A and B are shown apart, each in its own frame.
Chain A
Amino acid sequence: MGEVIVITSGKGGVGKTTTTANLGTGFALQGKKVVLVDADIGLRNLDVVMGLENRIVYDLVDVTEGNCRLRQALIRDKRYETLYLLPAAQTRDKNAVNPDQMKQLCLDLAQEFDYVLIDCPAGIEQGFKNAIAGADKAIIVTTPEVSAVRDADRIIGLLESEGKSNPKLIVNRIRPHMVKKGDMMNIDDIIEILAVDLLGIIPEDEYIVVSTNRGEPAVVNPTALASTAYKNIVRRLAGENVPLMEMQAEDGLLHKLKKIFGF
């Protein structure tokens, strides 16, 4: 029986879909059997980020409504054989599915896959309720911004009231040099407010933009800054003890000059 993990945040644009795509691909790199479920019905994105948009024939709603079998709706990734995507419907909305259907779907998927990763939509309404319904574990994604942390806190509360305690936290888009200067919230501040276990931190990486546009998760590219961070998170989820990445502020030109001249 596999593990069902929902990736959620409350706030939009903090990197839920990117995280889902990268963790899923990361598991596949380790040879695990993974399925990514896009629960953002009506505003699907995960298929685009995975570069699988043009392969969609059936979607999640077709499965729950019985228009097709689950197998028919699963799209195999073009790079990794053990990675699958269950795309969301684009022409429907969140009310096309209910939490009970999602629970059943997750049960069915967990029979066959080692990991079922659910990409949750932003917000706390029907879409969120659907996405968390079948999950055993939750990963909260936040950015070092007050608004994102507020929303993350709200989400943790909602998860607890649904009986899903101990969510794990990923802090995304950290800019070490800003944290160093005190212009950005640091990890300790965030942990202090949210009081949950830290699963990992992802540095800000311009390559994410490139990879999203190409439909190829950044984790595939070993030179990308975020790649190692995602791989570490995957290992932690698999039960390994991996220390947090050392966050070094990138040296600016002035700093380098100072170094050269021995200041």
Chain B
Amino acid sequence: MQEAVIFKGNRDGIRLIINQSVEFGYILNQLKAKLDEAADFFTAGTTVKVPAALSFLNGQQREELAGLLAHYGLQCAECSEQDVQEDVLDDAVPVSAGLRRHVQETLIVPRTLRGGQKLVHDGAVIIDGDVNPGAEVIAGGNITVLGTCRGIAHAGAYGNQEATITAKRLMASQLRIAGLIARAPDQPDVSTCAETARIDNQLIIIEPATLGEE
């Protein structure tokens, strides 16, 4: 039998996919059953995007759906199909868009950010590639670059002073953490080991990274 509801997770968060050929009452029942089953899986306060909500459900149905999700501590976010497919790596994502959500998710970017590309994310960011000169990474949480970071990295962009920036080769032209900015020296030295930048006593300091240890 075809499932009436499916939860899908991707880098944008959790989406609830509704089988539009099924009657609404049945959808609600199925959803309830799923949520009961997986109650522990969802953290309270998690936002669930419902891509079909606008086009497919009417006002009352939407309210019922949101009510049911709220019962399990989940927030219902309506969005069009398009919003979901939109690439997070848009050339210029407004910072304000990131400010509205408070979910701390880690975004994994499996490629190199090139000059002129700007990535804004409200959680932590891991880049499996390089950050080239002229590229910008802005994250609410920590930034980790598995390759070389030569662009601008802004961790803790919404004020988190504990945020850090780590890279296999940390040669960023600018490092920003919360409200502080540090720029590269005019004669940059080549970094030989993985390094982490963090705030110490209201200054951005760089030290050898202690990966995996705390």
A residues with a Cβ closer than 8 A to B are: 42-44, 51, 53-57, 78, 90-92, 215
Could you jot down 16 A-B contacts, CB within 8 Å? Answer: A42-B116, A44-B134, A51-B186, A53-B173, A54-B173, A54-B184, A54-B186, A57-B181, A78-B186, A90-B115, A90-B116, A90-B136, A91-B92, A91-B116, A91-B136, A215-B186
Give B103-150 interface residues, CB cut-off 8 Å to A.
115-118, 133-134, 136
| Neighbouring B residues of A53 by C-beta, 8 Å | 133, 173
Q: Are B174 and A54 in contact (CB under 8 A)?
A: yes
Classify the secondary structure of A's interface with B.
loop
- Tell me, in angstroms, the Cα distance from A44 to B133 when the chains sit together: 11
Q: Are B92 and A92 in contact (CB under 8 A)?
A: yes
Q: Are A54 and B118 in contact (CB under 8 A)?
A: no
Q: How many residues of B contact A (CB 8 A)?
A: 15
| Cβ-closest 10 pairs across A and B | A91-B118, A54-B173, A54-B183, A54-B184, A90-B134, A90-B116, A91-B92, A91-B116, A53-B173, A54-B174
Give B176-191 interface residues, CB cut-off 8 Å to A.
181, 183-184, 186
Q: Counting CB contacts under 8 A, is B91 at the interface?
A: yes
- Tell me, in angstroms, the Cα distance from A77 to B74 when the chains sit together: 53
What's the minimum C-beta distance from A125 to chain B, rounded to whole angstroms?
A: 18
- Tell me, in angstroms, the Cα distance from A36 to B184 when the chains sit together: 22
- Tell me, in angstroms, the Cα distance from A51 to B187 when the chains sit together: 10
Chain B 186-201 near chain A by CB (<8 Å), digits 1 or 0 = 1000000000000000
- Tell me, in angstroms, the Cα distance from A57 to B175 when the chains sit together: 11
Q: Are B91 and A91 in contact (CB under 8 A)?
A: yes
Chain B 159-185 near chain A by CB (<8 Å), digits 1 or 0 = 000000000000001100000010110
| Neighbouring B residues of A90 by C-beta, 8 Å | 115-116, 134, 136
- Tell me, in angstroms, the Cα distance from A43 to B184 when the chains sit together: 21
- Tell me, in angstroms, the Cα distance from A55 to B185 when the chains sit together: 10
What's the minimum C-beta distance from A208 to chain B, rounded to whole angstroms?
A: 20
- Nearest-neighbor residue (CB-CB) of B118 within chain A: A91
- Tell me, in angstroms, the Cα distance from A97 to B118 when the chains sit together: 19
- Tell me, in angstroms, the Cα distance from A73 to B109 when the chains sit together: 31
| Neighbouring B residues of A91 by C-beta, 8 Å | 91-92, 116-118, 136
- Tell me, in angstroms, the Cα distance from A54 to B133 when the chains sit together: 10
- Tell me, in angstroms, the Cα distance from A2 to B184 when the chains sit together: 33
- Nearest-neighbor residue (CB-CB) of A216 within chain B: B186
Chain B 79-118 near chain A by CB (<8 Å), digits 1 or 0 = 0000000000001100000000000000000000001111
- Tell me, in angstroms, the Cα distance from A55 to B115 when the chains sit together: 16
- Nearest-neighbor residue (CB-CB) of B136 within chain A: A91
- Tell me, in angstroms, the Cα distance from A42 to B134 when the chains sit together: 10
- Tell me, in angstroms, the Cα distance from A92 to B116 when the chains sit together: 7
What's the minimum C-beta distance from A40 to chain B, rounded to whole angstroms?
A: 12
- Tell me, in angstroms, the Cα distance from A57 to B181 when the chains sit together: 9
- Nearest-neighbor residue (CB-CB) of B151 within chain A: A90
What's the minimum C-beta distance from B114 to chain A, rounded to whole angstroms?
A: 10
| Neighbouring A residues of B115 by C-beta, 8 Å | 90
Residue among A42, A55, A91 with the highest chain B CB neighbour number at 10 A: A91
